[in-house]
Amino acid sequence: MSGDQAATNLTTAVSKLRALKLKLEEHNEIETLQLQRFRTRLDHLGTASVGNLKEWNDMKLKRILVDYFLHLCDIAFATELAETYNIQDLVDIDVFLEAKEIIDFLHNKEIPPALAWCEENRLRLNKFKSRFEFHLRRQEFIELLRIDNLSLAVDHARIYLAPWGATFREELEHVMGAFAFSGNTECETYKVLFEEKQWDYLVEEFKREFYRLYGITTESLLDIHLQAGLTVLRTLSCYEGNCPNKDPFSQAGFRKLAEQLPFSNHRSSKLICYISKQPMDYDNPPLVLPNGYAYSTMALCRAVGNEGEITCPRTGDVYHLSELVTAQIEL
């Protein structure tokens, strides 16, 4: 090649190398920041001990509160809260900030940023068999039909929807039928495609895919802890007239929160005898030894000696049958 061609090629190569260098430096900064956070979180986990359990749980509660506001997309308040508690490295504010930007675009009916996110994470989304990108393209198609731009809608379908035919054939056939209808159609089958709430569905679907991509729970940690606690406490007896005032479910607010939650497995606890492994109830009440251990009446009657002596199988202490006290069981 000529000298001018060589110079041009070298200039192009240098430009590409500089761009690559800048990209590598950017990735290096991100990796350094993530490694710093990993170290901080590992050090935090290592501080958990019996001596500082209260302080450690207080820190956990602060993290749960920040996570709750991050799930609400209130990034500003979550950031302020994290700075107040000085736990920026223990929460994922930057991750949620990335999601918030795309969510805002979708609320404004702007699809390109979400498509760019799909392109950036295509390999992992394909591994999840995600439908999000297809639904974004479908919404673009519907918006073209809404303004009666049929020619552009046909081109869009050929370029962006047809390649999904082998994967989502039924959905594709359904959306293609929208060609015969306008945005004000009363046909329920296609009316739903033109409804404004489709944008809300896209936002919710993006959140699910985003959380799955980053291994984040779809519900906040506060919701999960609250539901777990209410499920354990929720029994049928809580809804009877004699529900004690100390029971949280005596208050209407807690009952409303737990409406969709399952009941606890048992209406009341079961007492199992250490010796016979059988339940202790009204017919087989527990007998309490002076050392505090309790066993079922039937098991102790079988184990009584000739002089009416009972040997505790746990401690080896020997007591007379007259020293045992019957425990009352209240259900």
Report the pLDDT value the prediction gives residue 212, as an integer from 0 to 100: 92
CA-closest candidate to residue 323, choices 277, 292, 279? 292
pLDDT band at 185 (very low <50, low <70, confident <90, very high): confident
> Tell me: the pLDDT tens digits for 117-134?
999 999 999 998 899 999
Q: Of 282 and 79, which is predicted with more confidence?
A: 79
Helices 112-120 and 93-107 cross at an angle (nearest 10°) of 140
Report the pLDDT value the prediction gives residue 330, as an integer from 0 to 100: 52
Q: Is the pLDDT of residue 268 over 60?
A: no
Match 């009416």 to its residue by tokens: 308
Report the pLDDT value the prediction gives residue 74, as an integer from 0 to 100: 92
Q: How far apart are CA 46 and CA 108, in angstroms?
A: 44
* 84 falls within a domain: no
Q: Are 116 and 106 in contact (CB under 8 A)?
A: no
Q: Are residues 210 and 226 in the same domain?
A: no
In terms of C-beta density within 10 A (0-12 exposed, 13-18 middle, 19 or more buried), how is residue 315 classed?
A: exposed
What is the rounded average pLDDT for all residues in the chain?
87
Residue 146 token pair: 């809404």
Q: Are residues 107 and 209 in the same domain?
A: yes
Residue 248 token pair: 């949280």
> Tell me: the pLDDT tens digits for 33-58?
888 888 988 888 888 776 777 888 89
Domain boundary among 214, 246, 280: 214
CATH number at residue 304: 3.30.40.10
* 253 falls within a domain: yes
Share above pLDDT 90 across residues of the chain, in percent, rounded to a whole number: 36
Q: Which domain holds residue 206?
A: 100-214
pLDDT band at 1 (very low <50, low <70, confident <90, very high): confident
Q: Are residues 107 and 197 in the same domain?
A: yes
Helices 132-146 and 169-176 cross at an angle (nearest 10°) of 10
Cβ count within 10 A of residue 284: 16
